[in-house]
């Protein structure tokens, strides 16, 4: 089984600015040096601009296309496996659409308790901090700065880079890339939804195929003709829904069961997939209230939701839940339905992941 080769050198900040780290000089002294960069991100990558000597291994989870492909659930799976293996993982995120992006490096969770709210963290990092207790979660546009803080202040032994396949400023030792079957037929932006060409899968250490089993199997066959199987492993992402639980009052463990008539609420990429999953599990979905991805709910939204629900339970996602919690008490009975993700074959993926991290340190 191939292992990741260590890439060394200096890590450069991205073209987005992140103010000084507000956590003391030790983190700043460990942060990567700023130097003159080649003209483009691709030029910087080809020039070998990578992470600082001595840093912890970096496992990146990314994709080719815009929109939901299962990156965040995969990040959670990877972080949990690393925790179970005795590592101290730090999840590094950009914190997309957080309101206080000027805060610099924000420690959302130190691995023991939450330290930031929705405005400072963003919805997905806050959700990950709740889903993977024990893992540190940090956000900053310059992920190399967040990595320095995670190592020097929080004792991180390995980093999990959320949405890192196109992120050139921090070296990735292990690249995990998610691909949906439709990505193989798509075109590059602005004519399609691909951020990277399909040929870029050749630089992935693992490709994780999403989608329905039959379609995923066909896509995996096509991917095998693109990548070098001596260097790239293939896995499959499977989703299922967990048990619904009421969002309030806090600490509530019960929730409505399948067979109930409900209204679905989703401010995510691909809300129709959420509805199909609910219906496949036996829920009677009377309607869908769809909002744009990362939508910040307002009191007016809540009144609209309550009116549409008309006394029926409202089922929503974990990502929506972190945006609803600050607005409690809610005028409708809202239950969150967790997404349970597995990467198959599970034992093979675990062995591969831990082997890759060990190979970086060898």
Would you say residue 10 lies in a domain? no
Domain range spanning residue 284? 243-337
* 201 shares a domain with 259: no
CATH number for the domain harbouring residue 304: 3.40.50
* 260 shares a domain with 230: no
pLDDT score of 307: 96
Question: Is 109:92 a contact under the CB 8 Å cutoff?
Answer: no
pTM here is: 0.84
* 172 shares a domain with 94: yes
Beta bridge partners of 62: 177
* 326 shares a domain with 298: yes
* 274 shares a domain with 152: no
Q: How many separate domains does the chain show?
A: 2
pLDDT score of 155: 96
* 184 shares a domain with 289: no
* 304 shares a domain with 348: no
* 130 shares a domain with 49: yes
* 250 shares a domain with 206: no
Would you say residue 16 lies in a domain? no
* 331 shares a domain with 349: no
- Show pLDDT as tens, one digit a residue, over the chain (362 residues): 555 554 433 333 333 444 444 433 333 333 333 222 333 333 333 333 334 444 899 999 999 988 767 899 999 999 999 999 999 999 999 877 676 666 689 999 999 999 999 989 999 999 999 999 999 999 998 899 999 999 999 999 999 999 888 877 788 999 999 998 888 888 888 888 898 999 999 999 999 999 888 888 888 888 998 998 889 999 999 989 999 999 987 667 788 899 999 999 999 988 999 999 999 999 999 999 999 998 999 999 999 999 999 999 999 999 999 999 999 999 999 999 999 999 999 999 999 999 999 999 98
Would you say residue 48 lies in a domain? yes
Would you say residue 5 lies in a domain? no
Would you say residue 15 lies in a domain? no
pLDDT score of 99: 66
* 221 shares a domain with 255: no
């Amino acid at each position: 089984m191939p292992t990741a080769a260590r890439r060394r050198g200096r890590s450069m900040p991205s073209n987005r600015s992140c103010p000084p780290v507000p956590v003391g000089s030790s983190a700043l002294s460990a942060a990567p040096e700023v130097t003159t960069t080649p003209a483009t991100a691709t030029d910087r990558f080809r020039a070998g601009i990578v992470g600082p000597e001595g840093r912890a291994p970096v496992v990146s989870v990314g994709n080719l296309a815009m929109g939901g492909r299962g990156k965040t659930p995969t990040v959670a799976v990877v972080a949990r496996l690393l925790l179970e293996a005795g590592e101290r993982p730090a999840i590094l995120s950009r914190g997309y659409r957080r309101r206080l992006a000027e805060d610099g490096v924000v420690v959302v969770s130190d691995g023991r308790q939450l330290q930031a709210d929705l405005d400072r963290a963003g919805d997905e990092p806050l959700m990950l901090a709740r889903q993977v207790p024990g893992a540190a979660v940090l956000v900053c546009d310059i992920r190399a700065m967040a990595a320095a803080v995670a190592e020097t202040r929080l004792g991180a032994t390995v980093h999990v880079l959320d949405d890192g396949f196109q992120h050139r400023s921090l070296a990735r030792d292990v690249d995990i890339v998610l691909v949906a079957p439709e990505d193989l037929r798509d075109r590059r932006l602005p004519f399609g939804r691909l951020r990277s060409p399909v040929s870029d899968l050749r630089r992935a250490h693992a490709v994780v195929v999403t989608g329905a089993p039959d379609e995923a199997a066909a896509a995996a066959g096509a991917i095998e003709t693109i990548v070098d199987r001596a260097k790239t492993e293939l896995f499959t992402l499977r989703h299922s829904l967990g048990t619904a639980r009421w969002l309030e009052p806090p600490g509530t463990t019960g929730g409505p069961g399948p067979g109930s008539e409900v209204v679905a609420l989703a401010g995510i990429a691909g809300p129709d997939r959420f509805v199909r999953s609910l219906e496949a599990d036996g829920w009677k979905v009377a309607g869908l209230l769809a909002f744009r991805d990362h939508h910040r709910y307002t009191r007016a939204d809540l009144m609209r939701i309550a009116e549409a629900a008309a006394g029926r339970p409202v089922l929503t996602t974990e990502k929506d839940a972190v945006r609803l919690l600050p607005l409690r008490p809610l005028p409708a009975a809202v239950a969150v339905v967790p997404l349970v993700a597995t990467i198959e074959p599970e034992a093979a993926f675990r062995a591969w992941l831990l082997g890759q991290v060990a190979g970086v340190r060898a």
